[in-house]
């Protein structure tokens, strides 16, 4: 019995020693863990940032559209009469005035018709004079005299027609401008309706643009629209709306708009592509942040704000991008301090130090 009791005592002592060892290990681990946490906190380095305080502001909602500059007048002169070209008074690049004859075709046949009409009119006038003397004496009936008057009237009409035929052999410019092209030379035969030359009046320009249906109400006749040209950096120009189509194009469902351009600098040329800025409306109390402050993350957009000594990540809704600014609809409010520099090194709850506001 004493041997059994002795063995039980030894087992109890061993068990208690194991329990004490486990407790000692737990206490030791706890003592070792606490200093490591404190060390981690002590070793955290703040991220240097720059911030800005948000303020609601008025912001124009601008629609950017492409446009094309056209000359005020671009006229192709076609032949009204067929015939052989006998004179070309101007070459490509020459300046012409309204009414200047550019091309002339052989008009001998029509000149002969004009002389015949002049003779017929002269004879009709003489005959009417003789019949008027007879009518006053009562020797001529009223119906006979009416036929003489009719012959005179027809002679006048024939003379006018002959003059028109002769004038149609001289192709004059309907506008003042530059002879952009001439398609015929002396000796060539032209047919009625054939293009002869092209005159461009670029003394003033038109800006053409197609306005989408949802934005057409943003423009009215007389409105001023700013625009820029890529090949003329740093310069801005203005067009005044002179026409807005009343119906949309079947192809694009857009409304053709024309603007008169005042180009005092004379740097604009027909054919240049413009970038128009059409103000659709004014956004009131809009939250706008620099685009660089918006951090994309897994298909969402994050903006960091200052919360005491820590950075707080806010999910925002990006409504529009205007230049280098982002328009936000949700996530921020006036008075928030937004991180605008150093945000790429931040995470939610990161320790920060504000270098500049």
Measured from the Cβ of residue 92, the count of other Cβ atoms closer than 10 Å reads 11
Segment 155-165 shows an average pLDDT of 92
Proportion of the chain above pLDDT 90, given as a percent: 50
d(CA 328, CA 286): 8
What percentage of residues in the chain have a pLDDT greater than 70?
A: 83
Predicted local distance difference test score (pLDDT) of residue 281: 79
Q: Do both 110 and 188 map to the same domain? A: yes
Residues 79, 147 share a domain? yes
Report residue 39's pLDDT band, with 50, 70 and 90 as the boundaries: very low
Domain boundary among 256, 282, 308: 282
Is 91 found in the same domain as 185?
Answer: yes
Residues 208 and 275 in one domain: yes
Q: Please compute the mean of the pLDDT values over residues 130-152 and round it to a whole number.
A: 68
Give the pLDDT confidence score for residue 3 in this predicted structure: 47
pLDDT surpasses 50 at 1: no
* pLDDT score of 265: 76
Residue 311, number of CB atoms within 10 A of its CB: 24
How confident is the model over 61-65, as a mean pLDDT? 84
In this structure, the answer to whether residues 241 and 339 fall within a common structural domain is no
Distances in Å between the Cα of 167 and the Cα atoms of 43, 121, 254 are 98, 19, 43
Highest mean pLDDT among 17-26, 125-134, 143-152, 153-162: 153-162
d(CA 152, CA 125): 7
- pLDDT at site 37: 44
Tokens, residue 225: 């629209």
Res 318: pLDDT: 87
Higher pLDDT, 30 or 56: 56
Average pLDDT over residues 97-110: 93
Q: How confident is the model at residue 27 (pLDDT cuts 50, 70, 90)?
A: low
pLDDT reported for residue 321? 83
**Which CATH number does the domain housing residue 221 bear?**
2.40.30.170
- Are both 185 and 277 inside the same structural domain? no
Q: Please choose, from the candidates 272, 277, 266, 340, the residue with its C-alpha nearest in 3D space to the C-alpha of residue 303.
A: 340
Least confident of 51-60, 66-75, 300-309: 51-60
Shared-domain flag, residues 240 and 184: no
Final residue in a domain of this structure, among 165, 197, 229: 197
Position 302 scores a pLDDT of: 92
Residue 91, classed as helix, strand or coil, is coil
Q: 31 lies in which domain range?
A: 1-43
pLDDT at 124: 84
For residue 15, which phi and psi values (nearest 5 degrees)? Answer: -60, -45
Give the pLDDT score at 2: 46
Q: Are residues 85 and 182 in the same domain?
A: yes
Residues 229 and 276 in one domain: yes
Which residues fall within 8 angstroms of residue 224, CB to CB, at 6 or more apart? 238, 239, 240, 241
pLDDT at 320: 80
Provide mean pLDDT across the span 197-210. Answer: 91
Are 240 and 309 part of one and the same domain? no
Q: Are residues 78 and 193 in the same domain?
A: yes
pLDDT tens column, 283-340:
777 888 999 999 998 888 999 999 999 999 999 998 888 778 888 888 898 999 999 9
Looking at residue 310, which CATH number applies to its domain? 2.40.420.20
Residues 267 and 261 sit within 8 Å (Cβ to Cβ): no
Give the C-alpha distances (Å, rounded to integers) separating 291 from 1, 346, 355.
89, 17, 20
What pLDDT is attached to residue 319? 83
Least Cα distance to 289 among 250, 334, 231 occurs for 334
Overall domain count for the chain:
4
266 or 345: which carries more pLDDT confidence? 345
Q: What is the pLDDT of residue 35?
A: 47
Rounded-to-integer distance, Cα 340 and Cα 323, Å: 16
Mean pLDDT of the 267-274 span: 92
Query: Average model confidence (pLDDT) for the chain?
Result: 84
Distance CA 104, CA 110 (A): 13
């Amino acid at each position: 019995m004493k041997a059994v009791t002795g063995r039980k005592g030894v087992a109890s002592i061993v068990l208690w020693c194991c329990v004490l060892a486990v407790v000692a290990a737990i206490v030791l681990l706890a003592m070792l863990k606490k200093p490591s946490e404190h060390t981690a906190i002590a070793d955290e380095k703040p991220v240097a940032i720059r911030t800005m305080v948000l303020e609601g502001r008025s912001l124009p909602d601008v629609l950017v559209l492409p446009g094309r500059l056209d000359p005020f007048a671009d006229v192709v002169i076609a032949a009204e009469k067929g015939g052989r070209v006998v004179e070309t008074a101007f070459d490509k690049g020459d300046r012409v005035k309204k009414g200047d004859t550019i091309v002339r075709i052989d008009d001998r046949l029509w000149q002969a018709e004009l002389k015949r009409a002049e003779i017929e009119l002269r004879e009709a006038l003489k005959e009417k004079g003789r019949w008027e003397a007879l009518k006053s004496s009562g020797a001529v009936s009223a119906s006979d005299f009416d036929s003489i008057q009719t012959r005179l009237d027809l002679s006048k009409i024939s003379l006018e027609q002959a003059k028109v035929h002769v004038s149609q052999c001289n192709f004059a410019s309907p506008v003042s401008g530059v002879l952009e092209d001439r398609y015929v030379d002396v000796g060539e035969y032209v047919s009625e309706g054939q293009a002869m030359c092209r005159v461009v009046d670029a003394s003033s320009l038109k800006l053409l643009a197609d306005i989408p249906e949802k934005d057409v109400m943003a423009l009215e006749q007389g409105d001023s629209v700013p625009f820029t040209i890529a090949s003329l950096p740093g310069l801005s120009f203005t067009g005044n709306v002179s026409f807005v189509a009343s119906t949309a194009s079947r192809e694009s469902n857009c409304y053709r708009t024309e603007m008169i351009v005042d180009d005092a600098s004379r740097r604009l040329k027909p054919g240049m592509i413009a970038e128009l800025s059409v103000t659709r409306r004014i956004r009131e109390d809009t939250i706008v942040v620099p685009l660089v402050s918006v951090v994309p993350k897994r298909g969402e957009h994050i903006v960091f704000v200052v919360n005491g000594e820590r950075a707080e990540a806010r999910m925002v809704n990006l409504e529009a991008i205007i230049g280098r600014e982002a328009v936000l609809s949700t996530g921020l409010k006036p008075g928030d301090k937004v991180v605008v520099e150093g945000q790429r090194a931040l995470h939610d709850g990161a320790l920060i130090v504000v270098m500049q506001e």
